[in-house]
Structure 1
């Protein structure tokens, strides 16, 4: 079994290209240190749980 690499998102690259911040509608970027999808415009980090992005503003952490 291949171990996941913490530097790469646990979601497919094609999906990451399509995801946007639910607050600002701007692109998200993967932050390996936070293990989250980050919206610089909103100042929020959205968690990824079991490979599923949780794009709910109430679940996001402030940067």
Structure 2
């Protein structure tokens, strides 16, 4: 994931910063507990494509 791209991408739902989870290749919105997939090096920034993440997953990212 290109760090420059990560600096400008925000959650489409709440506009908060995203955090890259390299292990699962996802962008995480901690505010909404959503994980946006990255497919073929392209972030899929659609709320319908995001998966909900659990509190345990979220705490593991910290």
- Bin for the TM-score computed over the shorter chain: 0.7 to 0.9
TM-score, normalised via structure 2 length = 0.80
| Secondary structure, counterpart of 2:4 in structure 1 | helix
Select the residue among 39, 45, 49 that pairs with 1:59.
49
Write the distance in 2 (CA, Å) between the matches of 1:34 and 1:12: 16
Q: Superposition RMSD on alpha carbons, in Å?
A: 0.8
1:2-53: per-residue Cα shift (whole Å, max 9, x none)?
xxxxxxxxx3111110000000100000012321000000110000000000
Select the residue among 19, 35, 38 that pairs with 1:45.
35
> For residue 14 of structure 2, what is the aligned residue in structure 1?
24
**Pair member with larger Rg:** 1
> For residue 13 of structure 1, what is the aligned residue in structure 2?
3
Q: Which runs of 4+ in 1 moved over 4 A?
A: none
Instruction: Name the count of aligned residue pairs.
Output: 53
Structure (1 or 2) with the greater helix fraction: 2
Gaps of 5+ in 2: 54-62
